[in-house]
Amino acid sequence: MIYIIELVVQKQHRSSQVLKGIPSILVQDGQLNTKELAKNHIELEQLRSLLIAQNCFSLKEAKYVILETSGEVSVMKNEEVNSTLAVLLIDEGRVEVKALESIGKTEEWLLEEIRKKGYEKPRDLVYAEWSKKEGLYIVPYSKEINVQLRIDG
């Protein structure tokens, strides 16, 4: 059976994509690709764990993140951003209260900070993280990627 599948994959490119899959770009040029995350059933907390395993401790650091067909993640870091450990404060519109408490901040502080950046409510944001060096980094739902870059096929 495996031999037959390998023959089919080698002879027909389309069947190869169906059977083996194609890499997915989860972060493209520093922008979070929520459609690819949803398509691959990856939550932001899972993405953060995958990034940390690649020595990328902040989403702001990631220029490109590719989910390979093997299930591994490849990360190209943004060289313009300093490496720093960030704390997840907003995950898909939900405020992470325990994370706020761990850095000595309140929900009122967070709401004021996101208003300063031009957003009304946490539910307008896909993601927000905070670090001592970089401060608050926000990814709103409105920053969707419209053009999907394909690196294979």
pLDDT tens track for 129-147: 999 888 899 988 876 565 5
Closest CA to 75 of 30, 38, 33, 35: 30
Confidence of residue 29 (pLDDT cuts 50, 70, 90): confident
Question: What's the whole-number mean pLDDT along residues 105-128?
Answer: 92
Q: How far apart are CA 118 and CA 131, in angstroms?
A: 20
Q: What is the mean pLDDT of the chain?
A: 84
At 87 the three-state DSSP class reads strand
| Residue range(s) in the chain whose domain bears CATH number 3.30.240.20 | 2-77, 87-140
pTM: 0.71
Domain at 2-77, CATH from 3.30.240.20, 2.40.50.140, 2.60.120.890, 3.80.10.10: 3.30.240.20
Check pLDDT > 70 for residue 95. yes
Amino acid at 10: Q
pLDDT of residue 133: 86
pLDDT of residue 11: 67
Alpha helices per DSSP H over 12-87 = 13-20, 34-39, 44-53
Beta strands in the chain (DSSP E): 24-28, 31-32, 62-67, 73-77, 87-91, 94-95, 125-131, 135-140
pLDDT of residue 147: 53
The domain made up of 87-140 has a fold known as: CRO Repressor (3.30.240)
